[in-house]
Amino acid sequence: MTARSARPASLGRGLSALIPQAASTTPVPAEIPIDRIERNPYQPRTVFEQDQLEELRASIEAHGILQPVLVTETLEGYRLIAGERRVRAAQLAGLTRIPAIVRQATGREQLELALVENVQRADLNAIEEAGAYRQLVDEFGLSHEEIAVRVGRARSTVANTIRLLELAPATLEALGAGRISEGHGRALLGLDPPRQADVVALIERRGLSVRQVEALARRLRETPAGPDGGRAAVAVDGEMERVEEDLRRSLGTKVRIARSSKGGRIIIEWYGEDELGRLYERLTGGNS
């Protein structure tokens, strides 16, 4: 058995599988000083929403901390492995001590544990998750398959998430901020930075679906490279946006243009029989 295949594969089963337990007992948390806990340098999460921390602070003030954090002991005190939101919220609540389970963990295990906690809680954005996966590959030599086993993901999901890091910096910023989705980001892979920027702007203006972006990206890839960076193809979609808006104003209802390789469709929405009658009159000029 190789060293790589001998690595533990328990992470996908959750944090409880990684905390050493006696045969018939549950580890008892210790109350440790918060000011002796240092941040986990392998923490994949970089964004902590203040409103969510305030909600957790209020819950802690009302009910206490229901789940202990996980730490490892150091020469100076403790290093946090999992539970940074709870530590931050406890500090906001004015607590000086926090319940914690203490265990020994290598750097790789600290990253794995922090990653799986955030993945299981859906606390990471796509870029944070991709960065953590990349770190497991680059620093600790794990394969995509090994990472998938540890976090309970499909291998293809891990690979596709890591590929997001190939996007242009501005696109990564839009994805991390939630202005575009992970599906949008995957659709933009392979486009040069100027084309990505143009499509991101179009997504934000029009609220394009992932399928629409995939179709637009295909057209851009088929457009010969030129001094305009493929912006003519994006401009066509911008013109469709203007046509949609003109139709919405004229008909007084939501209108969407769906393009295809052979043409497309104009989709007119109506809400109730009276509105259908009004649209019929408008489109036919009142002729029955």
If one compares 224 and 86, the residue with the highest pLDDT of the two is: 86
pLDDT digits (tens, 9 = 90+) for 272-288: 888 888 888 888 876 65
84 is catalytic: yes
**Residues β-bridged to residue 135:** none
Element (H, E) at 97: strand 97-102
pLDDT digits (tens, 9 = 90+) for 168-225: 999 999 998 889 999 999 999 989 998 899 899 988 888 888 888 888 888 888 766 5
- Assigned token pair, 277: 């009658």
Kindly name the residue from 54, 84, 173, 244 that is annotated as catalytic.
84
- Where do the domains of the chain lie? 11-164, 187-284
The pLDDT score that the predictor gives to residue 120 is 55
Distance CA 187, CA 168 (A): 13
Say if residues 114 and 82 touch (Cβ distance below 8 Å): yes
Name the 3-class secondary structure at 39.
coil
Name the 3-class secondary structure at 25.
coil
pLDDT digits (tens, 9 = 90+) for 109-161: 777 777 776 665 556 788 888 888 888 888 778 889 888 887 778 889 889 99
Name residues whose C-beta falls within 8 Å of residue 90's C-beta, 6 or more positions apart in sequence: 34, 57, 60, 65, 98
| DSSP designation for 190 | T
The pLDDT score that the predictor gives to residue 6 is 44
Name the 3-class secondary structure at 79.
strand
Distance CA 42, CA 113 (A): 10
**Cα dihedral sign for 179, 183, 187, 188?**
positive
pLDDT digits (tens, 9 = 90+) for 14-60: 545 544 444 445 567 888 899 898 887 777 776 777 887 888 888 88
pLDDT digits (tens, 9 = 90+) for 233-258: 555 555 566 677 777 888 888 887 77
The pLDDT score that the predictor gives to residue 3 is 43
CATH tag, 11-164: 3.90.1530.30
